[in-house]
Structures are given as structure tokens and as C-alpha cells.
Structure 1
């Protein structure tokens, strides 16, 4: 007994694979990038911006080590 074969409803495109992304596949990364960019440009609006950021301390230590 042979298995039934399935045919494609559309012919395959000649140029290669036809990939279509949903709208949110581009919108969500763009929204995340814009949000992070706004936080970087204006860190006073961020909740964790109080005090001396830890990344600044890391860069200061790295600069001290390279300066020796």
C-alpha cells in the first residue's frame, strides 16, 4: 500500500525560497532598539540610574589596569 503524496498549492518560486515575515518580526526588534536608544540618550529617566552605575566603575578599573 503506497502513501498518498501531497502536491504544492503554488509553484515554487524560481529565484529561491520565498520567505515572508509577519509584521511583528520587524516591529518588535525595532521597538526594542528605539527604547534602548532612548534610555541610553536620556538615562535620567531610567529607574536604575540613581547613584554611580556599575559599568562606569568597571571601565575605571579597566583604565587603571591598562594605565600601569
Structure 2
């Protein structure tokens, strides 16, 4: 005995569902991509932040202790 198969209606006939993205869903990734691309193309603009000498010393000391 064969079972009847149900076919789904074509997506265009489902009542005109309109899927839209908000403006920021496209703008934010585009801005992030462009800013990273600019940093890659001109790395001289990406200067390292100068940290507190005490914090730098602490991190170096932690690295020395881990390396032992």
C-alpha cells in the first residue's frame, strides 16, 4: 500500500513573506572588514599601546616562571 506524499507549496506562493535585514546587519561587518583591511595594508598606523611598566614587568615575570 503506497502512502500519499505531501508537496510543499512553492516559496513564492506562501503569502509574500518579505525577509529584510536591518541596515546595521550589513553596515557593521562591512565597516569591520574595511578597517581591518586598512590596518593590513598600512601597518604603520597600528601602533602598539604603551602599557604601564609595572604591568609589563609582571607579565614578563609570569612568562619567565611559566618557561621554567
Q: What TM bracket, shorter-length normalisation?
A: 0.3 to 0.5
Please identify the structure whose Cα radius of gyration is greater.
2
TM-score by length of 1: 0.46
